[in-house]
Amino acid sequence: MPLDRYLYLDSLSYSRGGRMILSGLFLELEPSTIVGLLGRNGTGKSTLMNCIFGNCKPDFAYMKCDGQIFNQGYKTKKITYLTQYSFIPKRLTLLRAIQYFDLEDSPIMDIDIVKDRLLSKIGDLSTGLVRLFECLLVLYSKANYCLLDEPFSGLSPLYIDMIKQHILAVKSLKGILISDHYYTHVMDVSDRLLLLTGASLKSVQKIEDLVLHQYLK
């Protein structure tokens, strides 16, 4: 693997209203790697992803994607982002959304729960099914890196298991940064774990580390 093929962040800092939310963060995300990002509410997990993708402007950051320096990840066309909020217009059918992402030849077309609903409009589906479909779009996108923010939130155990299976299915093709309050599911799929606490990232290995850093009691 080429040495410059990874998503690289150095000295990323972000403050708001005089409060330091992210301070000098360093992160490397290699292809074929899943990094789990844990942290309590309000610690800045979504802010970090937004800074990477380009929805937020950090105070300072040195960021590279496959050797290319960037300020807004979406402009590289190599980074895609599942936000906490639905992003597909309700008037679109599943097929039209797939066409918009240029994924007609991708494995997403062979997934039964998608294949059976191609002509259904997003607005006619359940919230859980929309979330599942949006997560599949991001995972099977042509981007090299996926940012997943709360992919399991509000989903049934069946849909959670499906998402975990598809995360592992695409792992060989891309690097994935995943954050969710269902931390056990994040731990199940992750190769390594980072805890965002006190505006800094700490490497953690096991449940006891999460207790030590007061993420768990």
pLDDT band at 108 (very low <50, low <70, confident <90, very high): very high
Report the pLDDT averaged over residues 159-167. 98
Predicted confidence (pLDDT) at residue 206 exceeds the cutoff of 80 = yes
Which amino acid is it at 173? L
Cα separation values, 5 from 1, 2, 150, 158, Å: 7, 5, 26, 34
pTM over 0.85: yes
Kindly calculate the radius of gyration of the chain based on its CA atoms and give it in whole angstroms. Answer: 17
pLDDT band at 1 (very low <50, low <70, confident <90, very high): very low
| Residue pLDDT, tens place only, 8-54 | 999 999 999 999 999 999 999 999 999 999 999 999 999 999 999 99
Identify the DSSP state of 3: T
Predicted confidence (pLDDT) at residue 3 exceeds the cutoff of 80 = no
Report the pLDDT averaged over residues 162-172. 97
pLDDT of residue 209: 87
Mean residue pLDDT across the chain: 95
Distance CA 122, CA 115 (A): 14
Report the pLDDT averaged over residues 119-134. 97
pLDDT of residue 129: 97
